[in-house]
Structure 1
Amino acid sequence: MSEQKQSVLEGFKVFLMRGNVIDLAVAVVIGAAFTNIVNAVVKGIISPLVGAIGTKNLDVYSSCLKDPCGIDAKGEPTGVNILWGSVLNATLSFLITAAVVYFLMVLPMSKYLARQAKRKKEKEATVEVMEATEVELLKEIRDALVAQRGSGHDNP
């Protein structure tokens, strides 16, 4: 049974040491830091721009579904309040995050990979042409040697 525990621990160690897990951990850490940047952009730029029309804090936008909406004397909410401003704020954060990820990471990587694939294809095409040229050259040499042997045997 200790061998099974040991092999499970070894398997777990191998799993942790794989590049995919480490890449995922790095992505999570960078994603968390990136979230702070996006939230700062939304709070510092987008919300004030929207606030030029209304309020700077999108979270205060709401609609009352069942009156009376508010807070009673005990500090508890009354009525049914739909907080669509919070949803709008989260949606803006998501769209900004998606745009930044797409334009700063996905699009440049796609272009880079397309260039690499094109270069590889061109290189393979060049190698094929060179191989075809070599084959033709070897055939010509063979034919010339055959012709020399043929003419050489006829002369003596």
Structure 2
Amino acid sequence: MKKRVKRVKKEKVKLFEEFKKFITRGNVIDLAVGILIGSAFTKIVSSLANDIIVPLVGLIMGKINLKELKWVLTYDAEGKALSSVNYGMFIQYIVDFLIMAVCVFMLVRLFTALRKKSEELKEKAKKAEEAAAAATPPPPPAPPEPTKEQLLLTEIRDILKAQK
């Protein structure tokens, strides 16, 4: 029984360590930040659509609230709509989608341009570094090591000079 308890504790510790490694990896943190920013961005774009653009479209169309546009299919005894097709809400969602798509497209386009510019600057710096390396002359080659014969002849010459 004690062995089983120890094994379960070890498995829990191992599971916790694996989860800790998983959660502290950069990708998970980046994903969480992306989700939070995306959520905030969605709220901003939805507010832009609902509070600014849709009222302007309604004003252009004759002071109509798009959300209230509908086709009534059936009425009750008092003349109230029982079932209806709310196409105004559909138009509202299309406007929301189009605004969101344009905003995302512009952000992607901006990030792509920034990445391209960054890559161009890196490439330019690399070419400048290569040009600087090519402009400096290579060091002269080291003189070759004398052969055994040359060493022997030099030694003989030195001995002859010493005898004179």
Q: 1:142 is paired with a residue of what secondary structure?
A: coil
- In the superposition, relative to structure 1, how do residues 57 and 8 fare at CA in structure 2: closer, same or farther (>3 Å)? farther
1:77 aligns with 2:79: no
Give TM-score, length-normalised by structure 2.
0.66
- Of the three residues 123, 129, 139, the one matched with 1:127 is 129
- In the superposition, relative to structure 1, how do residues 72 and 96 fare at CA in structure 2: closer, same or farther (>3 Å)? farther
Map of 1:42 onto structure 2: 49
Distance (Å, rounded) in 1 between the aligned partners of 2:123 and 2:111: 18
Q: 1:4 is paired with a residue of what secondary structure?
A: helix
Judge conservation of contact 1:15–1:21 (CA < 8 Å) in 2: yes
Query: What letter is aligned with 1:63?
Result: W
Deviation at 1:29, TM superposition (A): 2.1
1:21 aligns with 2:28: yes
Q: 1:99 is paired with a residue of what secondary structure?
A: helix
Gap runs ≥5 in structure 1: 147-156
Judge conservation of contact 1:61–1:86 (CA < 8 Å) in 2: yes
- In the superposition, relative to structure 1, how do residues 76 and 107 fare at CA in structure 2: closer, same or farther (>3 Å)? same
Gap runs ≥5 in structure 2: 1-7, 145-164
Distance (Å, rounded) in 2 between the aligned partners of 1:24 and 1:32: 12
Deviation at 1:113, TM superposition (A): 1.0
* CA deviations over 1:18-50 (Å, ceiling 9, x no partner): 222222222222222222222221222211122
Give TM-score, length-normalised by structure 1.
0.69
- In the superposition, relative to structure 1, how do residues 71 and 43 fare at CA in structure 2: closer, same or farther (>3 Å)? farther
Deviation at 1:56, TM superposition (A): 4.1
- Of the three residues 16, 30, 36, the one matched with 2:37 is 30
Deviation at 1:15, TM superposition (A): 1.3
Larger gyration radius, structure 1 or structure 2: 2
- In the superposition, relative to structure 1, how do residues 5 and 72 fare at CA in structure 2: closer, same or farther (>3 Å)? farther
- Of the three residues 93, 96, 110, the one matched with 1:93 is 96
- In the superposition, relative to structure 1, how do residues 83 and 14 fare at CA in structure 2: closer, same or farther (>3 Å)? same
Identity %: 30
Judge conservation of contact 1:59–1:89 (CA < 8 Å) in 2: yes
* CA deviations over 1:87-128 (Å, ceiling 9, x no partner): 22112112212222332x322221111111111112222233
Map of 1:142 onto structure 2: 141
Q: CA RMSD in A?
A: 2.9
Ranges of 4+ aligned residues in structure 1 off by more than 6 Å: none
Distance (Å, rounded) in 2 between the aligned partners of 1:77 and 1:116: 60
